[in-house]
A and B are shown apart, each in its own frame.
Chain A
Amino acid sequence: MSCRAVGRLVAGGVACRLGFEVEQMEDLQLAIEAVLSRQAAQRILMLELCRSESGLEVRVGPFAPADDETRLRHLLCTLVGDADVQDSGDGEWIVLNATKQRALVPTSS
């Protein structure tokens, strides 16, 4: 099983437990697959899932620096509403803030 499939499964399972709408859950899974297709900085990639007020905060990393930030940010922000690329000492970490319900008024991206 690829790490994309594992990430997809885990995130989907947790999102479901937290009462995510199906569409939001699927969008989160798409986002995680996109993130996990990046080049890892080390042998081990970490996927951290943290319950947040609006849904789920996801941190994935460390990744090797890549020049895909604008493209990735556009993709991720459309999918989960809020995404950030953070530079830590060990490489880049992607932070996603996934909401469990569709915002009634779309937030500006």
Chain B
Amino acid sequence: MTRVMDRNINALLVAYHRDGDAEAREHLLVDLMPLVRALASRYAGRGEPLEDLVQVGALGLIKAVDRFDVDRGVEFSSYAVPTIVGEIRRHFRDKAWAMHVPRRLKELSVRLSRVLDELTTELGRSPTVQELAEATGVEEEEVIDALDSAHAYSTRSLHAPFDDEGEDSLFDKLGAEEPGYADVEDGSLVRAGLDALDARERRIVELRFFEEMTQSQIAAELGISQMHVSRLLRRALVTMRGKIDQVMGDENG
């Protein structure tokens, strides 16, 4: 935002807050919508329509305009941007799940995660979808939906505590660095991919692909659910692919 614009905006803010000028408020909201659009577009392509994000961002803008304190001598933009972005992020955290995944499915997904681990222990192997359906008393289709919903947009922060129940981070559980990936012919690419991961994802990839442990073995080793391992593994592979493509693109281009 340019200084000139900021000055106009400041004048409007003063008019609104000191004199209760409703028209000034309206002007502010209209004038600042391009800012909201720009911020919302940064979050596009994550499973939420851009228009929805703009709407949510607009709510953030309204909050920023209404709550801004003209007497504090702070630039409006430095207050508005975090407020708008915060609103958009909150939308992802609170609503993205619920919008795509019905509540019933979300609850089933949580229940399945527990049953999956229980059955794995009981049977000494991973259960089939049919067995899961019998154990939870729902249709196989619902089990499939719920399993897949676990992979829907993750509402977890990348650096959230390691487990849903515990407060440990993976750093508490990390073992030694695994040199195994040097054995893969293009080890440097794999290494670049691994470097793009955070510690817990890297550990899980190493255990799965270099120590060839199964998902449930990894789950037992790290004290988390198999579903969680599956989710982290999938995300890790997507991240690694992106990184490897980027490195290869740099080399070729």
Contacts and interface: CB of A to CB of B under 8 A. Distances in A.
A64 interface: no
A16 B140 contact: yes
B154 to A, nearest CB: 16
Interface in B53-103: none
Contact of B186 (A30, A37, A71, A109): A71
A30 B209 CA distance: 12
Given A16-B140, A70-B186, 7 more contacts: A23-B120, A23-B226, A34-B237, A67-B186, A71-B189, A78-B208, A102-B126
15 contacts: A21-B125, A21-B126, A21-B127, A22-B116, A23-B120, A23-B214, A23-B216, A30-B237, A34-B237, A67-B186, A70-B184, A70-B186, A74-B184, A102-B214, A109-B212
A25 B129 contact: yes
B148 interface: yes
Contacts, number: 67
Interface residues of A, number: 28
Contacts of A13: 144
Nearest to A19: B128
B228 interface: no
A20 interface: yes
A61 interface: no
A26 B140 CA distance: 16
A106 interface: yes
Contact of B215 (A9, A12, A23, A74): A23
B190 interface: yes
Interface in A1-37: 9, 12-13, 16, 19-27, 30, 33-34, 37
Overall SS of chain A's interface = helix
Contacts of B116: 22
Interface in B102-127: 116, 120, 125-127
Contacts of A23: 120, 126, 214-216, 226, 230
Contacts of B127: 21-22
Interface string A74-87: 11001000000000
A75 B209 contact: yes
Contacts of A21: 125-128
Contacts of B241: 34, 37
A74 B186 CA distance: 11
Given A23-B216, A26-B230, A78-B209, A16 B129 contact: yes
Nearest to A39: B245
Given A22-B116, A23-B214, A33-B237, A101 B125 contact: yes
A38 to B, nearest CB: 10
